Amino acid sequence: MHSGIRGGDVPLTIYDMDYGLYMSQRVLFYRRAVDVAALRRSFERMLQRVPLLAGRLVRTEDGDLLIRCSDGGAELSVVEQRGTIEEYGIGRSATSELARFTGLHSGFRLVNHDAPLLRVRVTLMRSGGMAIGVSAPHIVMDAGTVTRFLSYWSKEHRGLPWPGLDPERAALLAFEEQARREVASVRARRLRTALHDVAFVAKIIQHIGPVESRVIRFPAEEVSRLEQRARESAGTEGAQLSTYDALGAHFWKVVTALRGYAGRTTDKLTMVIDVRSRMEPLLSAPYLGNGVTDLTCDLPSTELSSASVGAIAVQIRRARKAFTPEAARAAHAQHCKDWESGRHRRLMDRVTARALDGNMCFNSEAGAPLYDVDFGEGRPFWCERPFYPIPRFVVISPAPAGDGSVDLRLALPRDDMRKLDSPELQRKLHPVAA
């Protein structure tokens, strides 16, 4: 489908390119289907408001990427299948069926090909139910943007106002260009980048063994008790702790206990952070692109092992508070220099690189409107996302009920996942369960 609007080339920022060609995906499952013709019309209106999504991905001579706003079109396909929609949820994952519901395409086949950036697949079950799957490269839509796109599309479909998605990145590109100008040798950069890519692939082969995933429900009452437990053991700063701080500290202790502390002096928690508010006015809140980066909290292993969850939550909070707008800009300026010099691995993001060193990576979408995406026939009963096969990658998402419950999405080495089922580790994971 087309927007009917053509424009010039939109260069991508280093933030955009930071996650390589990793694909952002979501699938929402509904008990009742909507009118497909009306869905097509509202999707076309979305493209008219955000014509960049109908563009094509092009690599420049110096290796960077841009979006050519040629109105090549986005894809909305409709598939009919027999039966009713399955009861996906806890214990019945649809992760292995993402390709069926999204029409998954490889990011590597997008560059310099006439391939849609945005693909949507609507699966209609003849006996009732519907799935809407979205797939787009992370450089155009990070996970939060995919969720916002679905939320805004549902509002457009119902004739409700929505705030828009902003593709403007000129100010950030100018900031990055100024930082990159201090590094001159493109040829040397390409050589160093190629060597880093080879080293990165070797590291993946060396470190990634069998990894399993699981979704674990934490009811709202248990979440509240975990927060209260952290605040009570945090001393004078307890009242300032957020749900993010409390849950991050709790899961960090549990995941690291599974791994064990032998042979290390320091443990690191890598947090995925949205930088839009910290980078204003270089980026806007509705920025259409990748707006996430990573932030690390380091603790001595002995402290992580022995300190209360409240004390660890305080350290997480301090690390996040120290990441001020000034600190975010300084960090990104240095990252631009590293990128230009070839010291950055371009095959995969820094979060993955740090996970391969054994660190826990923590991402929260607990406030995302995943289960508020209503196209007129009710809210989804389940949202599925890809399994990220990186050990110790932890994501917390809202649960379908919308009552404050959260779903813990956990990827662990197979041996650690088996340990998690032991009574001792279950008591650590659920210390305040009703």
CATH number, residue 105: 3.30.559.10
pLDDT category at 68 given cuts 50, 70, 90 is: very high
Question: Total domain count for the chain?
Answer: 2
Nearest to 25 by CA among 177, 130, 141, 152: 141
Query: 3-class secondary structure for 261-322?
Result: CCCCCEEEEEEEEECCCCCCCCCCCCECCCCEEEEEEEEEHHHHHHCCHHHHHHHHHHHHHH
Sequential DSSP letters for 187-227: HHHHHHHHHHHHHHHHHHHHH---EEEEEEEE-HHHHHHHH
Q: In this structure, what are the phi and psi dihedrals at residue 142, rounded to the nearest 5 degrees?
A: -75, 175
Looking at residue 338, its pLDDT comes to 83
pLDDT category at 232 given cuts 50, 70, 90 is: very high
> Using CA atoms, how far apart are residues 374 and 368, in angstroms rounded to an integer?
14
- Please check whether residues 245 and 365 belong to one and the same domain: yes
pTM, to two decimals: 0.90
> Using CA atoms, how far apart are residues 340 and 187, in angstroms rounded to an integer?
10
- State the average pLDDT over residues 404-419: 93
- State the average pLDDT over residues 333-351: 69
Sequence-distant (6+) residues with CB within 8 A of 34 are 130, 157, 375, 376, 377
- Please check whether residues 148 and 183 belong to one and the same domain: no
Looking at residue 326, its pLDDT comes to 96
Dihedral angle, C-alpha 136, 172, 281, 57, nearest 10 °: -20
Q: What is the chain's mean pLDDT, rounded?
A: 88
pLDDT category at 197 given cuts 50, 70, 90 is: very low
How far CA 132 is from CA of 117, 123, 175, 187, in Å, comes to 17, 6, 38, 44
> Using CA atoms, how far apart are residues 255 and 425, in angstroms rounded to an integer?
10
pLDDT above 60 for 203: no
- Please check whether residues 147 and 192 belong to one and the same domain: no
- Please check whether residues 313 and 386 belong to one and the same domain: yes
- Please check whether residues 213 and 66 belong to one and the same domain: no
Higher pLDDT, 323 or 347: 323
Among candidate residues 169, 203, 225, the one where a domain is terminated: 169
Domain contains 331: yes
How far CA 191 is from CA of 50, 61, 63, 194, 414, in Å, comes to 37, 15, 12, 5, 37
Find out whether the peptide bond into 281 is cis, omega within 30 degrees of 0: yes
- State the average pLDDT over residues 203-214: 69
Looking at residue 44, its pLDDT comes to 97
Residue type, 351: V
Looking at residue 194, its pLDDT comes to 47
Domain contains 2: no
Looking at residue 20, its pLDDT comes to 74
> Using CA atoms, how far apart are residues 328 and 214, in angstroms rounded to an integer?
33
Q: What percent of the chain has a predicted confidence (pLDDT) above 70?
A: 89
Question: Residues 23, 111: contact at Cβ < 8 Å?
Answer: no
Looking at residue 206, its pLDDT comes to 54
- Please check whether residues 373 and 412 belong to one and the same domain: yes
Domain contains 220: yes
Higher pLDDT, 388 or 37: 37
- Please check whether residues 192 and 157 belong to one and the same domain: no
> Using CA atoms, how far apart are residues 269 and 52, in angstroms rounded to an integer?
35
Looking at residue 191, its pLDDT comes to 47
Higher pLDDT, 183 or 56: 56
Looking at residue 195, its pLDDT comes to 45
Domain contains 72: yes
- Please check whether residues 128 and 201 belong to one and the same domain: no
Looking at residue 236, its pLDDT comes to 92
pLDDT, tens digit (0-9, with 9 covering 90-100), for 155-186 = 999 999 999 999 999 999 999 999 888 775 55
Among candidate residues 153, 169, 185, the one where a domain is terminated: 169
Domain contains 387: yes
Looking at residue 345, its pLDDT comes to 46
- State the average pLDDT over residues 93-118: 85
Looking at residue 353, its pLDDT comes to 65
Domain contains 3: no
pLDDT category at 339 given cuts 50, 70, 90 is: confident
- Please check whether residues 158 and 261 belong to one and the same domain: no
- Please check whether residues 306 and 159 belong to one and the same domain: no
Looking at residue 204, its pLDDT comes to 52
Nearest to 217 by CA among 365, 400, 373: 400
> Using CA atoms, how far apart are residues 171 and 15, in angstroms rounded to an integer?
13
Higher pLDDT, 22 or 186: 22
**Tokens (6 digits) for 113:** 């090909």
- Please check whether residues 150 and 232 belong to one and the same domain: no
pLDDT above 70 for 18: yes
Looking at residue 241, its pLDDT comes to 96
Q: CA 145, 146, 152, 156 torsion: positive or negative?
A: positive
Task: Give residue 155's domain range.
Answer: 9-169
Among candidate residues 109, 138, 169, the one where a domain is terminated: 169
- State the average pLDDT over residues 212-219: 94
- Please check whether residues 251 and 383 belong to one and the same domain: yes
Cα–chain center distance at 271: 11
Residues linked to residue 383 through DSSP beta bridges, in sequence order = 28
Domain contains 341: yes
Tallying the residues shown for the chain, one arrives at: 434
